[in-house]
Structure formats: structure tokens, C-alpha cells
Amino acid sequence: MQDNRDDAARLTARALLDIGAVLFSPHAPFTFTSGRASPVYVDCRAVMSYPRVRAELMRLGQHALDRDAGLACFDAVAGGETAGIPFAAWMAERMGLPMAYVRKKPKGFGRGARIEGHLPEGARVLLVEDLATDGGSKVDFIDALREAGAGVEHAFVLFHYATFPESGEALAARGVRLHALTTWWETLAEAGRRGDLTHEGLAVVRRFLEAPDAWSAAHTPDDTDA
């Protein structure tokens, strides 16, 4: 029997918490590449070091894709450089499909390619990444795959922040559905059940998730001269 959406989300959140992939720092915020300050950070790369965890998460991912899209609609799997590459390889292995990866930009020598690996013209590709925040890198990878002649209608991640509206909007505008095993809301609920955070810590993270830009603006150091 396949896991339902809620069970898969809870199991994924629990696994990520167990291996220390979910980091909380309410009073010393992390800084994202976008420049946003955040009291929380997810490092899905940690999954690489836990073979049983990664096997279980890939199993859950395959079941989720079969349930919500149907595995027959994919001809190949592509990972985004660099974090998406190992996850794409594991998913391609489970699905028995060819795998390629997409560079962030063309390499400056040789073929100057952005797509590494062979994708037949018109191949229906599943884009795989570790997580999704604002969706910017996903859009770039999708555009590169389509420019190479592939079709992309689905993207899969282990973790979706689900706090930045632009992430869903940007993908939806390109006709791409995002599949995620868990989100911050589900992970925060699991952390609360387990006692991973104090009531104060839970409240801080909840305020960030409800208004990330406002929270970031209030907790980003002012570097201007006094």
C-alpha cells in the first residue's frame, strides 16, 4: 500500500529532523543566497550520508510521483547542479530511467553544454532537486531543459519551504507542477510534537513562516553608517 500524503510528509520531516538536516537558530539567523535572514535552514545534502534514510525518502518520492502524476509520464530524470544531482541519480535508479543533469550556466570549454547526459528530443523529463525556496533555480533549469528539446511538466523535491508565494507562481506560469514530500509547516508540527523546539522557538519560526520578508527585514543587520 502506498503512503498517503500526510504520512509521507510526517515520515520525511521525522527523518530530516533525526539526521540533523533541519536547523533552528531563532536568535542568530541564517542568511539565504537571496539575502533573506531566516531562523531556520534545511540541509538536504545531509541525506547523502545516511543510506537507509535516502532509500526510504526515494521510496516515498517514487510513490508520491506515481500517486500524483503517474510514472508512465516520465522518460528521463534530470538533476539541477549541484545539490539535485545525487537525488536525481537515486530517483532515476528507482524508476529505471535515464538520468542527466543541468548546469547552472554553460561550461566555458568543450561543447559549452548545459545539459550533461543524453536526453532524446521530446523526452518527458522529471526535474529533481533537493529543496525549493523561492523557485528561481527551478525556473532556470526548466528553461534550459526545454531549450534542449525536452518537455518538463513536473518537478520533485524532498522539501518545499512553502512560504514564498513566488515559488509556486513561477512554476505554475511555466505549466510545471511541484511535488514535495514535506514542507516547513509539516516539519514545524513534527518538531513541536517531538519537543525539538521550545514554545518560544516555535513561535519565532511560525512568525517567520507567516511573513518571511517582514521577519527578514526586521532581523537583517543594518550595514549603513550611523
Distance (Å, rounded) from C-alpha 126 to C-alpha 110? 26
Q: What's the topology of domain 5-219?
A: Rossmann fold (3.40.50)
Instruction: Reply yes or no on whether the pLDDT at 134 is more than 90.
Output: no
pLDDT, residue 35, reads: 83
Instruction: Reply yes or no on whether the pLDDT at 138 is more than 60.
Output: yes
Per-chain mean pLDDT for the chain: 90
133 vs 8, residue with greater confidence: 8
- For 53, phi then psi, to 5°, come to -65, -45
For residue 131, the cross-strand partners are 159
Distance (Å, rounded) from C-alpha 139 to C-alpha 166? 11
pLDDT, residue 220, reads: 83
pLDDT digits (tens, 9 = 90+) for 62-73: 999 999 999 999
| H or E segment to which residue 42 belongs | strand 40-42
Residue with cell 513561477: 170
pLDDT, residue 3, reads: 72
Residue 46: closest CA among 90, 83, 91: 83
pLDDT digits (tens, 9 = 90+) for 141-186: 999 999 999 999 999 999 998 887 666 788 889 999 999 999 999 9
pLDDT tier at 81 (50, 70, 90 boundaries)? very high
Other CB atoms within a 10 A radius of the CB of residue 82 amount to: 12
- For 133, phi then psi, to 5°, come to -110, -90
Farthest-apart Cα atoms in the chain, separation: 62
pLDDT, residue 224, reads: 43
Query: Which is it for strands 76-80 and 40-42: parallel, antiparallel or unpaired?
Result: unpaired
pLDDT, residue 226, reads: 35
pLDDT, residue 178, reads: 94
Instruction: Reply yes or no on whether the pLDDT at 1 is more than 50.
Output: no
pLDDT, residue 108, reads: 58
